[in-house]
Chains A and B, each alone.
Chain A
Amino acid sequence: MPEWVQFSAGKHFQDLIAHLSGRSVPEILVMPIMLAVILGFICGSSLILIWAERKVAARIQNRVGPMMTGPRKLAEFSMWTGGLLQTAADAIKLLVKELIIPSKTDPVPFIAAPVLIVTVCVTAFVVIPFGPALSVSDLNIGVVHVVSISSLTVLSIVMAGWSSNSKYSLLGGLRSAAQMLSYEIPLIFALLGPILLAGGLSMQKMVLAQREYGCWFFLPSLLGFLIYYVASIAEVNRPPFDIPEAESELVAGYVSEYSGMMFAMFFLAEFANMFLVCSVAATVFLGGWLVPFMAVPEQMTPGYIALGTLVFFAKTSFLVFIMMWIRWTFPRVRPDHLMNLGWKYLFPLSLLNLLICAGVAVLKDVYKLNGWGVSLASLGALVFVLLLLQVVRVPRPTAFLEKV
């Protein structure tokens, strides 16, 4: 097993500085610097993602989207190269706007909420492997770290909703708390399948396990991948699950009373969270930085690191694009449908996925199956169970209540 992929980005940074200046960076400074790098990264990626979202929306609605801000020559070339500086201009506008704190708000939670949501996001990015040997810190509780830290996002939304002292914000906060708590459960259960297959929680181990199996985990855990994807759209409050900030009924939900930079921080966190859930999906289900049809070298090679990072970003961008596509083509779901989908369909199906993954992991150990065997066995089991559910009448789970 190539050990070098578990090096941390902090170590690369220390080596680089030592190489350039001959001085060593004190250990205590490495983590703050790395966190600042992540913050810069999510700011930059959000600028690009917001631009991309507007362009995708424009293409789907037969428009051209923002075209005026940016190099004129590029805009004349095609719609996909126009308006490149639009979000940068928007960000500058939001930065210089006055920060309005309405007089009837509860100031401490009101200001703390946007700070918390960005902090949570930056902290969650710590374990994401952007490439071989390119995660800030490859904690051995990796996946659990992302899930548990992201669960604090709902706290920030509840704080914003309540402290705004406005009916729209409060309703948005309430809906969001209900939605995010419900969808966290299928999300975590969907991740348990790949965790079982990999036998570890660390993100880099997850990638290496997929190399060992010879197949990406979305094949043996197809159901898990789909459930994770749907639940993560609900977790980041994006359409069609955007009822916490439904514009047509709640103004802007929990962000109604925010303005200027504090509004921008919520916006930033929304796009950074979208990137986060997609990069987790790419790592856990789509092989992370594994380059298809190419062996991982035993020694560290800069070429493979660059290629792997490129592949990781390609996979993540693809998933992000699908999320945008879904956003602009599906209508918003009703709150009761949302709860039904989460509790009555996704949650039982995620248990089924866990069962199939457990069976497949045992089969692999007993019969020494390779990746294709494992995938076929799991897909076969899935089809069998789904067909069985069509034939056998399953009593409703609440049937026992009728006799109480």
Chain B
Amino acid sequence: MSEAIAFYVLSGLVLASAWSVVRNENLFHAGLSLILCFVGVAGIYVNLDAPFLGAMQVLIYAGAIAVLLLFGFMLTHDLMNAKQERNQHAAGIFAAVLMALVLIGTIAGAQWYGSSGQPVKFGVESLARRYMQQDLVSFEVVALLLLASLMGAVVIARKEEGSRD
């Protein structure tokens, strides 16, 4: 019962803040709403007995990525007066409808497996087994991709030779 209440409250929070991300004219407020949305999603994870995933969501999305986003806003010139452009309605609606169709199609067509058993209790060992034995290849592929993007970012961001300012 209390889990259902928590789910509806959190879902309302996530949807409202996501709406605010899209519709807010003030970029900084939109960024803050995005963080609220991330935290709401983390709450849903915790509600689903996945506390580690929830903590990681807060740590990586709300605590690092979204803050970097705000960091970028703060470096942007004259942000106080910046307003979001509103001339992309048609494209936005098209993308949203397309996304909704894909999601509804996937969810309706998927096979759902339910289980009445207790959720698996979280442990570092099960996490480690998952990453280092079962899903080792995909884990390494992701690591390699991240390394490549990191090096790419360094190459793009580094200063040209002899252009010290």
- Cβ–Cβ contact B67 & A148, under 8 A: no
Which of B2, B62, B63, B71 is close to A174, meaning CB atoms less than 8 Å apart? B71
Residues of B within 8 A of A14 (CB): none
Residues of A within 8 A of B64 (CB): 151, 181, 184
Q: Name the distance in Å between B78's Cβ and chain A's nearest Cβ.
A: 12
Which of A62-70, A159-167, A282-290 has 4 or more CB atoms under 8 Å from chain B? A159-167
Secondary structure at the B interface, as helix, strand, loop or mixed, is helix
Tally chain A residues at the interface, Cβ within 8 Å. 36
Q: In the assembly, what is the distance between CA of A174 and CA of B70, in Å?
A: 9
Does B121 count as interface, using CB distance less than 8 angstroms?
yes
Q: In the assembly, what is the distance between CA of A159 and CA of B74, in Å?
A: 10
Which of A52-60, A73-81, A195-203, A213-221 has 4 or more CB atoms under 8 Å from chain B? A195-203
Q: Which of B84-143 contact A (CB under 8 A)?
A: 121-125
Q: Name the distance in Å between B127's Cβ and chain A's nearest Cβ.
A: 9
- Cβ–Cβ contact B67 & A141, under 8 A: no
- Cβ–Cβ contact A155 & B74, under 8 A: no
Secondary structure at the A interface, as helix, strand, loop or mixed, is helix
Residues of B within 8 A of A151 (CB): 58-59, 62-64
Q: In the assembly, what is the distance between CA of A174 and CA of B71, in Å?
A: 7
- Cβ–Cβ contact A148 & B59, under 8 A: yes
Q: Name the distance in Å between A137's Cβ and chain B's nearest Cβ.
A: 11
Given contacts A162-B74, A177-B71, A199-B124, contact A155 B63 (CB under 8 A): yes
Interface string of A170-192 (1 = CB under 8 A from B): 10011001100100100000000
Residues of A within 8 A of B158 (CB): 401
Does B75 count as interface, using CB distance less than 8 angstroms?
yes
Q: Name the distance in Å between A68's Cβ and chain B's nearest Cβ.
A: 43
Residues of B within 8 A of A152 (CB): 58, 62-63
Q: In the assembly, what is the distance between CA of A148 and CA of B75, in Å?
A: 25
Which of B28, B55, B67 is close to A155, meaning CB atoms less than 8 Å apart? B67
Which of A177, A200, A401 is close to B124, meaning CB atoms less than 8 Å apart? A200
Q: In the assembly, what is the distance between CA of A165 and CA of B56, in Å?
A: 32
- Cβ–Cβ contact B122 & A141, under 8 A: yes
Residues of B within 8 A of A200 (CB): 123-124
Residue of A147, A155, A159 with highest tally of chain B CB at under 10 A: A155
Given contacts A141-B52, A200-B123, contact A177 B58 (CB under 8 A): no
Does A43 count as interface, using CB distance less than 8 angstroms?
no
Does B4 count as interface, using CB distance less than 8 angstroms?
no
- Cβ–Cβ contact B70 & A177, under 8 A: yes
Q: In the assembly, what is the distance between CA of A257 and CA of B115, in Å?
A: 55
* Smallest Cβ-Cβ distance to B59: which chain A residue: A148
Q: In the assembly, what is the distance between CA of A201 and CA of B122, in Å?
A: 10
Residues of B within 8 A of A201 (CB): 124
Does B37 count as interface, using CB distance less than 8 angstroms?
no
Does A48 count as interface, using CB distance less than 8 angstroms?
no
- Cβ–Cβ contact A149 & B35, under 8 A: no
Q: Name the distance in Å between B59's Cβ and chain A's nearest Cβ.
A: 4
Q: Name the distance in Å between B5's Cβ and chain A's nearest Cβ.
A: 11
Q: Which 3 A-B pairs have the closest CB atoms?
A: A151-B63, A148-B59, A148-B55
* Chain B residues near A (Cβ < 8 Å): 2, 28-29, 32, 35, 51-52, 55-56, 58-59, 62-64, 66-68, 70-71, 73-75, 80, 121-125, 154-155, 158
**Sample of 16 further A-B pairs with CB below 8 A, known A139-B51, A141-B122:** A106-B28, A141-B51, A141-B52, A148-B55, A148-B63, A149-B58, A151-B58, A151-B63, A155-B35, A161-B74, A163-B28, A174-B71, A177-B71, A181-B68, A199-B125, A404-B155
